[in-house]
Amino acid sequence: MRKLLYLFVVLTGFSSCCSECYSIQGTSSVSSLDGSKLYLKAVQDKEVKNIDSCEVVHGKFEFSGALDTTMMVNLFMDDRPLMMPLVLEKGEIIVRIDDTSRKVSGTPLNEILYEFIDQHTQLSNRMNELSHRESQMLLDGIDEHDISNVLSVEADRIAEEEDSLVTNFIVDNFDNVLGPGVFMMLTAGYQYPILTPQIEHLMSIATEKFKNDSYVKEYYKVANEIQAKLQGIEQPAAPSGEPSDSLIQSILNGQ
């Protein structure tokens, strides 16, 4: 009887540990990935840190481990990003990598994230299609000025849809990891932190949880300091890692 009770306690202990675990089951048809090492990396304390790693064997790979907190991570092959964000959350996460598509599914936040990514990809494809339409219109003998007028209107419309999609997604996810995660994706392409009308709007309606996210808070702080310098307002010396006065002067000089 005592042995049965002991076994029950041990099994209960294992069950409670695994209740806060993540599991990623991945498949890939991309030959260049086979035999390579994959990493899950996340931005923590202003640094990109390794969270987990595994090898791709015969087109399959697997990550698993204890989960302290839900977080956004990115999939890397060695030091090369595969441009695959995913949410590390409790449950079994399914990752599929093909030559033409990349998909993460299986858990609630990843389903939401990749529905957004699919919609964003559709807008990007529509924008890319404009260049093909321009070539075809030129071949059809349409005046370049007329082509420019037509396509610029369409480009502006797509840009507005993209702006609305991203803004609404971040607003809907202010209080989970998707909001700050997509905000990071939105701002990652900037050479230095800037305040766009979109960012100003987001911060004007943001929840306290979103504002206090470490990345969002630091980005907004530095962006405001840069804007103040560009406007000629005296600010305290920039801490290490923030844009120097020489960089600000280069910006002013159009460099």
Q: Which tens digit of pLDDT belongs to each residue from 132-159? A: 888 888 888 888 888 888 889 999 999 9
For residue range 16-51, list pLDDT tens digits in order: 345 588 999 999 999 888 889 999 999 887 788 899
Question: CA torsion, points 83, 84, 88, 91, in degrees to nearest 10?
Answer: -170
Average pLDDT rounded to a whole number, residues 116-128: 94
Please state the pTM of the whole predicted model: 0.80
**What are the structural domain ranges in the chain?**
21-106, 108-172, 174-237
Categorise residue 82: left if φ over 0, alpha if ψ from -120 to 50, beta otherwise.
Answer: alpha
pLDDT at 71: 93
Does residue 7 have a pLDDT over 70?
Answer: no
The CA distance from 31 to 39, in Å, is 17
pLDDT at 5: 38
Structure tokens at 134: 């321009």
> Which residues lie across from 50 on neighbouring strands?
41
Class of domain 21-106: mainly beta
Residue 193: band (very low, low, confident or very high) from pLDDT cuts 50, 70, 90:
very high
